Amino acid sequence: MIVFKTILKILNKLKGMLILYTFMLVMITFINQTSNNETSFLESKPSIAIVNEDDSLITNDFIDYMDKHCIIKNLAPKNIDDALFYRSINMVVYIPKDFGENLLSNNVTLEYKASGDEASSYTKMLIEKYIKTVLIYKDYYSDEELINHVNNLLKLDANVEVKTKLETSKLERMTRYFNFLNYALLAGSVYCISMILASIKEEKVKKRTIISSFDYKKYDRIVLGTLSIVIFGIWLLYMLLSIILFKNTIFTSNGLAYILNSFVFTIASLCIGYLIGNITQNKNAIAGIINVVALGSSFLCGCFVPVEYMPDYALKIAHIFPTYYYVSNNEIIKTIEAFNPTLIKSLLKNGFVIVLFSLLFILLTNYISKKKQIIN
């Protein structure tokens, strides 16, 4: 009980940073509460960029078709990724060499990068509409005649209505909340655990513990148990906050999946915090470690910047962090409308990887702890 009270006293001194992390989480959530859940839409003109390496009849007609429905911006290749990130364009379409010829052979080689908003979804629909129309008529017509029939069909107007049971805008906001929760949980866990361990492992405190009648191994178990209670207490507070912010959707199957995913990640955060707390008791170094571990992994793994904008080498690095699998699960959860074995399998696989990371951190912590005991 004495150890528990001591840790709570230390935690009380650290509450300022926890309040800061919570404030940042709430502010980002409110900033993102701007989108509306629409089930129908009128045609608008998204902004796109086209990188074209083909000069076939089909390709030129496709570009003309896109020009009628979109605003095509001429951008230098080096500026395209920045334009996509800052959403001055909604999509970039890459047309490779021999695209037209490949399309007539049922080989669709078109590639694109999207911003992930409604305008990019509409642009994707336009692209798919053109390609599917060509694939329907290509066996019956060729060249100019094919183009004419495709254009005549595409001129027909249609009212588009999106039918879904998912409350997409609410799930999108909830996904952003739980994605950023990664940073709040990880930074909070590393900060609290490292600072608490640094305080109770100060030389004078350590000596008093050793010379007392208190069993040192039992003392370590009590410390670990108390720290676990503290971290899961913080997690519960964040879950209560999610109930307040998303009271209409948090108790749906999607919402409960977010909660379960964050619980599994909290275990990993606890293990990371305990590992770092055993590596160093230097309070000045802890802030730097938080920036590297929590902030760095959040940027690399899609919490702050969507993974679509990340270069390939950054994504390869992201795979070594449990955050990547946590965020991947959140992105899968927001798309689940009904039981889907493939998606469920992906969720379980990512969750299993997070658990494996937790076990690895526990093994590393035990190894480092034993090494330090031998040295001391």
Give the number of other CB atoms < 10 A from CB of residue 321: 21
Cβ atoms 198, 283 nearer than 8 A? yes
First vs last C-alpha separation in the chain? 27
Do 345 and 366 sit in the same domain of this protein?
yes
Do 231 and 336 sit in the same domain of this protein?
yes
93 inside domain: yes
In the structure encoding, which two tokens stand for residue 269, read together?
A: 């955060």
Do 221 and 275 sit in the same domain of this protein?
yes
- CA pair distance 167, 147, nearest whole angstrom: 39
Selection from 295, 299, 301, 346 nearest residue 322 by Cα: 301
pLDDT of residue 36: 44
205 inside domain: yes
156 φ/ψ sector (left φ>0, alpha ψ -120 to 50, else beta): beta
Task: Give me the residues paired with residue 50 across strands.
Answer: 93
Per-residue pLDDT of the chain (376 residues; tens, 9 = 90+): 676 777 778 888 888 888 888 888 888 777 766 544 444 444 558 899 999 999 889 999 999 999 988 999 988 888 888 888 777 888 899 999 989 888 888 888 888 888 767 788 888 889 999 999 989 888 888 888 888 888 888 876 555 454 555 566 778 888 889 999 999 999 988 888 888 888 877 666 666 655 565 555 676 777 788 888 989 999 999 999 999 988 888 998 889 999 999 999 999 999 998 898 888 878 788 878 888 888 888 888 888 877 777 777 888 899 999 999 999 999 889 888 777 788 899 999 999 999 999 999 999 988 887 776 665 5
Do 147 and 179 sit in the same domain of this protein?
no
Do 143 and 279 sit in the same domain of this protein?
no
Cβ atoms 104, 58 nearer than 8 A? yes
Do 28 and 86 sit in the same domain of this protein?
no
Largest CA distance in the chain: 94
Residues 6 or more apart from 310 whose CB is under 8 A from it?
Answer: 300, 302, 318
The pairing of strands 91-95 and 111-114 is: antiparallel
Do 115 and 190 sit in the same domain of this protein?
no
Q: In this structure, what DSSP letter does residue 308 have? A: G
Cβ atoms 199, 10 nearer than 8 A? yes
Do 172 and 307 sit in the same domain of this protein?
yes
118 inside domain: yes
- Kindly provide the b/e burial profile for residues 325-348, where b requires at least 16 CB atoms within 10 angstroms of the residue's own CB: bbbbbbebbbebeeeeeebeeebe
Task: Give me the residues paired with residue 186 across strands.
Answer: none
Do 92 and 221 sit in the same domain of this protein?
no
Which residues constitute the domain of residue 60?
Answer: 47-154
Cβ atoms 40, 162 nearer than 8 A? yes
Q: How many domains does the chain have?
A: 2
Cβ atoms 116, 308 nearer than 8 A? yes
E strand or H helix that includes residue 211? helix 203-211
Give the number of other CB atoms < 10 A from CB of residue 197: 24
Do 138 and 173 sit in the same domain of this protein?
no
41 inside domain: no
Selection from 47, 15, 196 nearest residue 119 by Cα: 47
